[in-house]
Amino acid sequence: MKKLGAAFGYTLDGGELGSLEDETFSADAAKMIIEGVSTHPGMAKGKLVSAIKIASEIVASLPKDTLSPETTEDREGFVHPVRMQGVVEKAEIDFIVRDFTTEKLQQHEAFLQTTMDKLLQHYPAAKGTLQITEQYRNMKEVLDNYPQVSNYAEEAIRRAGVVPLKMSIRGGTDGSRLSFMGLPCPNIFTGEMAFHSKLEYVSIQDMQKAVETIVHLVMIWEEKSRS
């Protein structure tokens, strides 16, 4: 931040033409570690406790109509298993946890803890731990204190001949981290579409409008500094 020497900033990491995003998910990572009991499978009756099977049961028990990225939208958060690995003795499940408030994140994490604890009651020889790591927080918590930053961006989009679309991101952006590091930083469109899919593409025409927008944005900041 000291090297940048800036009071405010903007990321160009958005999609749809005209979109301006001043809100993101708040995000944590959760790692669930299951410890089982390994023994020779030929003599395993009453002894072997498979961490792989327990981990699979936990994933299978997650809600299918709620708390899942494939069944949520708008301001609904989710718990999403993104990776699972293990052997009989030890298995790990990596989750991403997303919502628009830290309070709801904590509720989702408590749900994961309760789900694991309840299932482990059926396997007294097994153990489980849940580790939470903060990833980023909703940048709106910072940007609400500096409304001019987003207002100037809206005006710049209009001057480029585009209708501003104020949006919330069901995801994150570098602006999330930058805002909490002291550089309030909303997100401006670039024309990228179908993010993170095999059909991802970008519109050259929309990219040109993004360029026009940031030129107008610099002009607006200069005008406001003289008023």
Measured CA to CA in angstroms, residue 221 lies from 66, 156, 198, 226, 227 at distances of: 43, 10, 38, 9, 10
pLDDT band at 195 (very low <50, low <70, confident <90, very high): confident
pLDDT surpasses 80 at 137: yes
State residue 77's pLDDT score: 97
CA distances from 30 to 65, 72, 110, 133, 166 (A): 21, 19, 11, 6, 30
Task: Give Cα 92 distance to the centre of its chain.
Answer: 21
Mean predicted confidence (pLDDT) in 201-213: 96
- Phi first, then psi: what are they for 128, rounded to 5°? -145, 145
Q: Longest C-alpha distance within the chain, in Å?
A: 83
State the alpha helices, DSSP H only, in 46-139. Answer: 51-60, 102-120
Rounded Cα distance, 184 and 49, in Å: 50
Mean pLDDT of 176-190: 96
Mean pLDDT of 79-83: 98
Share of the chain above pLDDT 90, in %: 96
- Residue 86 is predicted with a pLDDT of 97
Q: Which domains does the chain have, with CATH numbers?
A: 11-24+139-226 (3.40.630.10), 26-136 (3.30.70.360)
CA pair distance 10, 157, nearest whole angstrom: 13
Question: What tens digit of pLDDT does each residue of 160-179 get?
Answer: 999 999 999 999 999 999 99
Kindly tell me the burial class for residue 168, based on how many C-beta atoms sit within 10 Å of its own C-beta (0-12, 13-18, 19 or more).
middle
pLDDT of residue 226: 84
Please give the model's pTM, rounded to 2 decimal places.
Answer: 0.89
Taking only the tens place, the pLDDT of each residue in 56-79 is 999 999 999 999 999 999 999 999
Kindly state the average pLDDT of the residues 131-138. Answer: 97
Query: What does the pLDDT average to over 95-119?
Result: 97
Residue 227 has pLDDT above 80, yes or no: no
Mean pLDDT of the chain: 96
Question: Average of pLDDT values for 201-227?
Answer: 94
**Residue 30: closest CA among 87, 90, 88, 82:** 82
19-23, strands of its sheet edge to edge: 11-14, 187-189, 19-23, 165-168
105: tokens are: 């994140």
pLDDT score at 148: 97
Q: In 3D, which of 92, 89, 86 has the Cα closest to residue 36?
A: 89
